[in-house]
A and B are shown apart, each in its own frame.
Chain A
Amino acid sequence: QSALTQPASVSGSPGQWITISCTGTSSDVGAYNYVSWFQQHPGKAPKLMIYEVSNRPSGVSDRFSGSKSGNTASLAISGLQPEDEADYYCSSYTHRSINTVIFGGGTKVTVL
């Protein structure tokens, strides 16, 4: 099954606000409020940043926020910091195939 669609790269200067989009279909992002966002630094395991569209796990900075409109979810990072440079992946619960999870292709965030 095809991955959720994310931009390959997004960049911004320190202190700026950026957003990453994640486009799915009415079988996944549009159907469920089970969209998650993960941050992955090189050589490290992914880290959950947002779950259920807009919830932040304990310990995640409130500079990270999530939202959804129709079949597209978004991750926003405000006050961009050098340590935010990483790959970001979205995921969604889906019924494209029976009861599974689907990831986006990933977005490389570069802090200029």
Chain B
Amino acid sequence: EVQLVESGGGLVHPGGSLRLSCAASGLTFSNYWMHWVRQVPGMGLVWVSRIRGDGADSNYADSVKGRFTISRDNAKNTMYLQMNSLRPEDTAVYYCARDVVLGSGSLDGWGQGTLVTVSS
């Protein structure tokens, strides 16, 4: 059974930084594109970023480009999201998810989410 566990969320001041982690088990991690998706409580899902299985390709939503960096360590079965220059509008629950069809957004397997709150 695929299991994804996010960690690293918390309260941070505007302009601050945070690194999220997504630990994976029950899958051959390096075979899959992985994504970060966020959701403001009570609101809809918003795609944030994705990274290819070998880590050699990645993409970002315009709202986070230049501030967030996605990476992965396949030896540790873990994906990361380095978030810099955080803004109040980045406040959300951040989910990691596995893509089962070549990075297309077919996200089968989600973590439980980690809450990031950006506030002074």
Which residues of A line the B interface, CB within 8 A? 1, 3, 32, 34, 36, 38, 40, 45-48, 51-52, 57, 89, 91-93, 97-106
Contact = CB atoms under 8 A, between A and B. Distances in A.
A36 B105 contact: yes
Interface residues of B, number: 26
Interface string B18-55: 00000000000000000101000000111100100000
A38 B44 contact: no
Contact of A34 (B59, B61, B105, B112): B105
A57 to B, nearest CB: 5
A38 B107 contact: yes
Nearest to A60: B108
A105 B105 CA distance: 16
Nearest to A91: B105
Contacts of B120: none
Given A45-B113, A99-B59, A100-B59, A34 B106 contact: yes
Contact of A47 (B47, B50, B103, B110): B110
Nearest first, the 8 A-B pairs at minimum CB distance are A101-B105, A51-B106, A34-B104, A45-B110, A101-B47, A106-B44, A48-B108, A103-B45
Contact of B47 (A32, A45, A98, A100): A100
